[in-house]
A and B are shown apart, each in its own frame.
Chain A
Amino acid sequence: MMKDIVSRIFISADAGARAVGSDSVARAVVDEAGRRGIAPALVRTGSRGLYWLEPLVEVETSAGRVGYGPVLAEDVPGLFMAGFLEGRSHPKSLGLVEKIPFLASQHRITFARCGVIDPLSFADYRAHGGLRGLERARALGPAATVEEVARSGLRGRGGAGFPTGIKWRTAAGASGERKFIVCNADEGDSGTYSDRMIMEGDPFALIEGMVIAGFAVGARQGYVYVRSEYPQAIATLTGAVEIARAEGLLGAIQGFDIEVRVGAGAYVCGEETSLLESLEGKRGEVRAKPPLPALKGLFGCPTVINNLITLASVPPILADGADGYAAFGFGRSRGTIPIQLAGNIRFGGLYEAPFGVTLGALVEEIGGGTVSGRPIRAVQVGGPLGAYFPPVLFDTPFDYESFAGRAGLIGHGGVVVFDDTVDMARQARFAMEFCAHESCGKCTPCRIGSRRGMDVIDRILAGIEPAKNLALLRELCETMRLGSLCALGGFTPYPVESALDHFGEDFAATPPRHEVAA
């Protein structure tokens, strides 16, 4: 064994990994190596998205990267003693990371590099396939780049599922002195964190995607609107933008550059027109559509506004061709989607797979059921505006149309699992409360309807004219759904009505059977 050749060690610096102690593990590794007279080659990566195994420590061996996890700082001396630098066995051994079933069964396209590379190493980015997409786009030319994206079948990963190619085509065809590319990184849906993972784990992928979009539609300026709840993502992305300028990825093609802008805690700013208002420095009030942002968006100019995952999926689509991407998927949902398993789930993490995997497979097989060990009672898919699904609907394939067909939505791909202690009337009330808290106030169904919704649910639970009030709640949901200006008021009925439809027994006036004593 040669002492001077030390394997590289990889520990995530992603916020999710740091939240469970990856920094102290990294410090312990450096300290212990120092005590042993070894200079460690420690690389802080993004996260692989195997969060139940974080803090995850990986070591490079001739066979591949070997993992240990979840590692505590106090495990570190033992890892050295066991010979983890040579990939040897230890009670926390996971074997080859790529062979961990949760990872091995995925098709990572958008997340291929996340957790693998140093997020701020431009050399790493290039060495792992970065910039190939941009090179191909430049060889194709702007118009053919738009058509390639259209042919891939890529649809908006923020939740609306609008075909990206059509949006780009509209903006490309619009006349205007100035055009903008806006990345929506206001990832507010509970149960979602894929945007954050890319910003912290592979930010150049987003930057490259925006450069390609700017090239394709003729824009010279891009904005990334990041929510303030993501301080680390903001820092990493800002660092990456500076590096990209120095490396000539930004500022070179039509002068296209990017500015990172930070939100201020308003959920509604994830709605595209509200986000544009906020970028203009105004109250984040929703705009009526039309005009479409593609024609009249930021500062009144033609604007492509895409979700972060949509933009980060563009470079691999260009690099490897639209047909390969479109070959994955199910029905009209083509390609892969990064699904985020969250809440009360044993194997919580990021699962990128072609559309079509069933909800049951996701939460029971891949996710391993609840972490509490109790039966799953409800799964909320698509964030706070998504429906609650009971186990009888676990055969629903994960794609835009199948979820819409069952009065739900996939949204940004968040899957939040609840066990049988959940009180679904309380969840329904929370949906209304959240809508009231976050409403921009512009339209009445959302602003007033959500407050009335809370009152009506309170009355039902207090046993006041329950039949009449249940009918009123249904009517109110219909008004909000049909009459709201945007998805906040328009989709809040999804969690409420699904709770009524599938868990009606929780709306009885008596305390629900599973109420846990305070």
Chain B
Amino acid sequence: MRDQMGEVPERVRERIGAIARAHEGAEGPALNVLRAVQEEFGHVPRETVPVIAEALNITRAELHGVLSFYHDLRQDPPGRHVLRLCRAEACQAMGAASLAEAALRRHGLAWGETSTDGALSVEPAYCLGLCSCSPSALFDDEPVGRLDAASLDRLVSRARAS
């Protein structure tokens, strides 16, 4: 619990209050609010959990339950770029597993982690709906298909250069 006790800057507190108010009309807004907080700050900072829970009038435990359930929601900041590589069956059929493993090894990256220069987070995705253009990925929400070692390398280099 210690890390939840950190000070929340007034500015952050205000933004969270504003986000919660913006969702006041919606029923069952918790997930929407968490998504909006993440959109704003890049992640859901641990110390903001009590603030969000209070704004939504639910318990911290309930909010933590929601936050920990969904793969998308993160409590640590991501890299400047996020590469979501598909690991599901249609991409497996086109050699995605060995393609990804080789690229991660080559660039010293790991699933679910951010490169030490803070440039790139690599996350597994289980289907991006680009299954007729496998292997596929989303690079900062931009779809990429028919990936091969060269194009994957280009994506990683692009991320690291910017």
Contacts and interface: CB of A to CB of B under 8 A. Distances in A.
Contact of B35 (A16, A264, A371): A264
A230 B129 CA distance: 8
A343 B143 contact: no
A231 B72 contact: no
B130 interface: yes
B132 A340 contact: yes
B131 A18 contact: no
A259 B136 CA distance: 29
B19 interface: no
Contacts of B71: 264-266
A54 interface: yes
Contacts of B89: 190-191, 343, 380, 384, 416, 427, 430
Contacts of A422: 93
B130 A193 contact: yes
B5 interface: no
Contact of A264 (B73, B91, B142): B73
A91 interface: no
A interface, size bucket: 35 or more
Interface string A260-283: 011111110000000000111111
Output the residue of B27, B28, B72, B127 with the most chain A CB within 10 A. B127
A416 B93 contact: yes
Interface stretch (B62-70, B113-121, B152-160): B62-70
A453 interface: no
Interface string A116-151: 000000000000000000000000000000000000
Interface residues of B, number: 45
Contacts of A20: 133, 145-146
A344 interface: yes
B90 interface: yes
B70 A266 contact: yes
Interface string B76-98: 00000000100011111110001
B1 interface: no
A262 B73 CA distance: 12
Nearest to A200: B129
Interface string A400-420: 000000000000001011110
B6 interface: no
B26 interface: yes
Contacts of B128: 15, 229-230
Interface in B9-68: 26-32, 34-35, 62, 65-66
B66 A283 contact: yes
A151 B114 CA distance: 54
B31 A342 contact: no
A384 B92 CA distance: 12
B127 A343 contact: no
B93 A516 contact: no
Contacts of A191: 88-90, 127, 131
A18 B128 CA distance: 13
Contacts of A15: 128-130, 143
A369 interface: no
A410 to B, nearest CB: 15
B70 A265 contact: yes
A349 interface: yes
Contacts of B69: 266, 283-285, 440
Given A15-B143, A265-B71, A342 B28 contact: no
Given A266-B69, A427-B89, A282 B129 contact: no
B22 to A, nearest CB: 14
A278 B90 contact: no
A364 interface: no
Interface string B97-124: 0100100000000000000000000000
B127 A340 contact: no
Contacts of A418: 92-93
Interface in A45-80: 51-52, 54
A516 B98 contact: yes
A19 B90 CA distance: 15
Interface string A332-348: 00000000111111001
Interface of B: 26-32, 34-35, 62, 65-66, 69-73, 84, 88-94, 98, 101, 125-134, 136, 138, 141-146
7 contacts: A16-B145, A51-B132, A51-B133, A52-B132, A191-B131, A282-B30, A344-B94
Given A16-B129, A282-B28, A427-B92, 12 more contacts: A15-B129, A20-B146, A191-B89, A192-B127, A265-B71, A283-B66, A299-B27, A341-B132, A342-B131, A343-B89, A380-B89, A434-B88
9 tightest A-B CB contacts, nearest first: A348-B132, A19-B145, A343-B93, A281-B30, A190-B88, A264-B70, A281-B28, A342-B131, A51-B132
